[in-house]
Amino acid sequence: MNNLDQIYADSDCVADYADGYFAYLSKVMGEIDSKAIERFVDTFLQARKQGSWVYFIGNGGSATTASHFVNDIGFGTRSWDKPFKVMSLNDNCAVMTALANDNGYENMFVDQLKVYLKPEDVVVMITASGNSENLVHAVDYANSIGAHTIGLTSFDGGIVRERCKACIHVPAMKGEYGPAEDAHMIIDHLVSSYLIRLVRSEAAAQQA
């Protein structure tokens, strides 16, 4: 029985379940390696410094997290003079459906990376299981040309966790998509809120 099933079994009402869910999510968040988040931010800052692109990819709920990351980091930071160049490869419906229809869903991301990706760029793969075939193909291609690969994973991390050069792992149990995806979104907001303040401090220093 996974943790959410146990929390439900132990709950007499929705409020009990909410308390248990929040407590479990807090436990999961507390076990994430903060140094891995620091390395994640450092990679973003290095990409910004050299004008490289960061590409986000994911399936299902993780696809919306990829889009959210791009919004928060690319535009929420208001870093216009020295921008964070970010793109979600989930967001062009015509491209995705054409590639999936013509070349297979498993090649939907790698075909886009073949057009855009350069060795100095970064690919961030957001996934709970880490075993989606289209993400595995993407990480293998990105690694093959020397690009930076970062996973945001959960459960046991799967193949993506094994093959990415860096990873932030969320230690939720297999099948616990809610806490896994909650944690990925919290990491987005943590990272973007830090970068927003960093950009502000840079602007203040320039004006001083």
pLDDT at position 206? 87
Report percent pLDDT > 90 for the chain. 97
**Whether 132 contacts 59, CB under 8 Å:** yes
Look-up: residue for tokens 């690319």? 74
DSSP 8-state symbol, 172: P
What CATH number did the domain enclosing 203 receive? 3.40.50.10490
Question: Is the model's pLDDT at 158 over the cut of 80?
Answer: yes
For residues 23 and 93, state if they share a domain: no
pLDDT at position 185? 98
For residues 44 and 116, state if they share a domain: yes
> What 3-state DSSP class applies to 96?
helix
For residues 191 and 142, state if they share a domain: yes
Count up the domains in the chain and report the number: 2
For residues 124 and 199, state if they share a domain: yes
For residues 16 and 100, state if they share a domain: no
Question: Is the model's pLDDT at 1 over the cut of 90?
Answer: no
For residues 55 and 108, state if they share a domain: yes
For the stretch 63-81, pLDDT in tens is: 999 999 999 999 999 999 9
For residues 21 and 123, state if they share a domain: no
- 198-201, long-range: CB < 8 A, 24+ apart: 199/77, 199/78, 199/79
What's the mean pLDDT when you consider all of the chain?
A: 97
Band of pLDDT at residue 4, cut at 50, 70 and 90: very high
pLDDT at position 118? 98
Mean pLDDT of 121-147: 98
Question: Is the model's pLDDT at 190 over the cut of 80?
Answer: yes
For residues 10 and 94, state if they share a domain: no
For residues 6 and 61, state if they share a domain: no
For residues 101 and 178, state if they share a domain: yes
Order of strands across the sheet with 85-88?
85-88, 53-58, 122-126, 148-153, 166-169
Sign of CA dihedral 116, 122, 126, 130: positive
Q: Which distant-in-sequence residues (6+ apart) come within 8 Å of 19 by Cβ?
A: none
Give the bridge partners for 125, in sequence order.
57, 151
The tokens of 102 are what?
């013509």
Rounded to two decimals, what is the model's pTM?
Answer: 0.96
Residue type, position 34, single letter: S
- Domain housing 19: 1-30
Residue type, position 113, single letter: L
Backbone angles phi, psi at 50, to 5 degrees: -100, 5
